[in-house]
Structure 1
Amino acid sequence: MSVQLRVATFNIRNSSAPDGDDSWPVRRESTVAAIEELAADVVGLQEVLPDQLAYLRERFSGWEIVGVGRDDGVSGGEHSVVMVRPGPWAVKSFETRWLSPTPETPGSVGWDADLTRIATLVRLESAGLRVGVLNTHYDHLGEVARLESSRLLDQWATPDHPWILMGDLNAEPGSPPLEVLTAAGWTDALPADAGGTFHDFTGVAGERIDHILVKRLQVVEAAVAHHRPGGRLPSDHWPVAATLRA
């Protein structure tokens, strides 16, 4: 039996950043509209602070939204949440792990990382089929931390079902953290000419640091999305969306 699943990853830019005319209160309606435009069953978000999470829970009240704060394993700090649309896919289990040598320790910092980093692991089920999702945000400074994070995530992707790895990896295609994953059997969903994702509120994409990779899933299509609801940029990143088949 073939089952289709549409997924997306989106760094929505944290609400504490001093972004002036692009600050969260100004653009949050645009961010919500951009998420809706993705038409995804499953969306992984990064840089979600508690006030943003509360707003998203209100606006997407019918969705399952899972994930905890990176500072304390409860609500403190940024979240890498996974949102699941009402429909055929349901969350069977989820947990958050830290990208460090002690992944069960809330707030732990790994290797040469500048900040605490996490991954949210979710197991979804539809019509008896299970798919795992890893949503994450790698460190922006730690080169060793990014490499070790890729190794950890690959270890956590157990062989009992297909997996999707998505998030802001702060690394471009062909860089060591991505090479670790592709060497381990992960497939980049995006075509080579898909373009960049980080644009720093200019709308002009530069580096492609946001990714969707898959194991044991077929990529039907994938692209960087450039929705700009009402003419406003919803974040300093463009999201990535992919339609997959199991």
Structure 2
Amino acid sequence: MRVVSWNLRFDSQPDAIDVEDSLKNIPDPLEAPKFMGKKGEQPWSIRRIRVAQELGSNIVIAAFQEALKRQVTDLAKLLGDEWEWVGVGRDDGREGGEYGPIFYNKCHFELLEWDTFWLSETPFTPSRYPGAGSYRIATVARFATKGNPDADKKCFTFINTHLDERSEDQRKLGASLLLHRCHYEASVRKEPVFVVGDFNSEQEGRDSGAYRVLTGADSPVAVPAEFRAKFEFPPGSHPHFKMLDLRAETPRVNVTGFFRTFTGFIERLGWGGGGRIDYILGSSAGGWSSNRYETPNVTYDDGVMASDHRPVYATIRLD
């Protein structure tokens, strides 16, 4: 299955242009594109068509970050009737604020269950960690594959998140909550589990805490007792459990594209600015392998960038 995680950049320049108008204004594909001379961020009404075109038709799960309700409904229209999605607005658990939606192709998967928790000290109610810049959530979906006899169905859990841009303490707590939930899924369900999203955390350096907690380099911080109790797993199950970075778990010849995932709407080649903060991780308990990992560019001939982040794709096999 080919999956993608992509921070879309929230709809910061809203307008009244609907999807149908954008589709009507797609230029003739046989005409050479003209460079628009525009720099930096463009409105979502321009960028959304580029997002849909980049995603194409060969993905089966798409996780987005920073998507406001309009962006979620636009993508539902653009992806088509084969797709469904789950998620809530992070500010109120309904439609307020940014979503962390998980889109899935109904032809390939059956949704078994889904839920949301907040990456805070009160994870089961809409809440913000003290000192964090925003409310932060994780969207959790459990799927079963379709198209095979029941005996051959594969089940797995897929988690989408966006950690805080301001607070390193929030990122460490968020990573610890995510790691605990993944450990529960792997131990109790005995199925593969994946975490994707924008961690706002580098692999190393001052702000690397979340990445290091999830990948086992640093110990997790204590998670709230109510969370630990709800997602309790047997003592000693999967000792040294951690999440594995699929970029490192993929055959090197099949790791393509860019290292850096954040661009800030600036075309960045070589080093300087930006960073790798968007990831796809899989549980160390196994049940999966990664065959390809891609971070393509999303700047087009006319100069428009689809987002200030590059999408991250992985092609995963469920064993």
Normalised to the residue count of structure 1, the TM-score between the two structures is 0.91
Q: Which residue identity lines up with residue 144 of structure 2 in the other structure? A: E
What residue is the counterpart of 2:235 in the other structure? none
CA distance in 2, matches of 1:113, 1:9: 23
**Deviation of 1:60 (Å):** 1.9
Q: Is the 8 A contact 1:9 1:44 kept in 2?
A: yes
1:3-41 CA deviation, whole Å, 9 max, x = no partner? xx211100001002589751212212111112227x321
What residue is the counterpart of 1:131 in the other structure? 156
CA distance in 2, matches of 1:218, 1:118: 27
Q: Do structure 1's residue 81 and structure 2's residue 101 form an aligned pair?
A: yes
Which of residues 173, 196, 205 in structure 1 aligns to 2:260? 196
CA distance in 1, matches of 2:162, 2:171: 10
| Count of paired positions | 240
Which of residues 140, 161, 177 in structure 2 aligns to 1:152? 177
What residue is the counterpart of 1:182 in the other structure? 215
1:105-142 CA deviation, whole Å, 9 max, x = no partner? 02x01243111011100001114211101100000011
What residue is the counterpart of 2:280 in the other structure? 212
1:175-225 CA deviation, whole Å, 9 max, x = no partner? 221111111421101149851000011131620000000012211111212
What residue is the counterpart of 2:193 in the other structure? 163
Q: Which has the larger radius of gyration?
A: 2
| 1:227-246 matched pairs, under 5 angstroms | 227-228=298-299, 231=302, 232-246=304-318
1:136-163 CA deviation, whole Å, 9 max, x = no partner? 0000011000001011011112222111
Q: Which residue identity lines up with residue 155 of structure 1 in the other structure? A: H
Identity %: 32
Q: Which moved more, 1:140-149 or 1:26-35?
A: 26-35
Cα RMSD between the aligned structures? 2.0
Q: CA 1:229 to 1:40, structure 2 compared with 1: closer, same or farther past 3 Å?
A: farther
Which of residues 50, 64, 75 in structure 2 aligns to 1:30? 50
CA distance in 2, matches of 1:245, 1:53: 27
User: Whose strand fraction is larger, Structure 1's or Structure 2's?
Assistant: 1
1:24-80 CA deviation, whole Å, 9 max, x = no partner? 12212111112227x321110000001111211211232011101001111111000
CA distance in 2, matches of 1:17, 1:173: 32
Normalised to the residue count of structure 2, the TM-score between the two structures is 0.71
Q: Is the 8 A contact 1:99 1:110 kept in 2?
A: yes
CA distance in 2, matches of 1:212, 1:20: 27
What residue is the counterpart of 1:59 in the other structure? 78
Q: Secondary structure at the match of 1:15?
A: coil
Q: Is the 8 A contact 1:7 1:41 kept in 2?
A: yes
Q: Do structure 1's residue 46 and structure 2's residue 103 form an aligned pair?
A: no
CA distance in 1, matches of 2:163, 2:109: 27
Q: Is the 8 A contact 1:167 1:212 kept in 2?
A: yes
What residue is the counterpart of 2:202 in the other structure? 172
**Deviation of 1:86 (Å):** 3.3
Which structure 2 residue ranges, 5 or more long, are not aligned? 15-38, 217-240
Q: Do structure 1's residue 16 and structure 2's residue 84 form an aligned pair?
A: no
Q: Secondary structure at the match of 1:147?
A: helix
Q: Which moved more, 1:162-171 or 1:228-237?
A: 228-237
- Structure 1: which 4+ aligned runs deviate by more than 3 Å? 17-21, 191-194, 227-231
What residue is the counterpart of 2:3 in the other structure? 7
Q: Is the 8 A contact 2:132 2:167 kept in 1?
A: yes
**Deviation of 1:244 (Å):** 1.0
Q: CA 1:101 to 1:36, structure 2 compared with 1: closer, same or farther past 3 Å?
A: same
Q: Is the 8 A contact 2:68 2:98 kept in 1?
A: yes
What residue is the counterpart of 2:89 in the other structure? 69
Q: Secondary structure at the match of 1:55?
A: helix
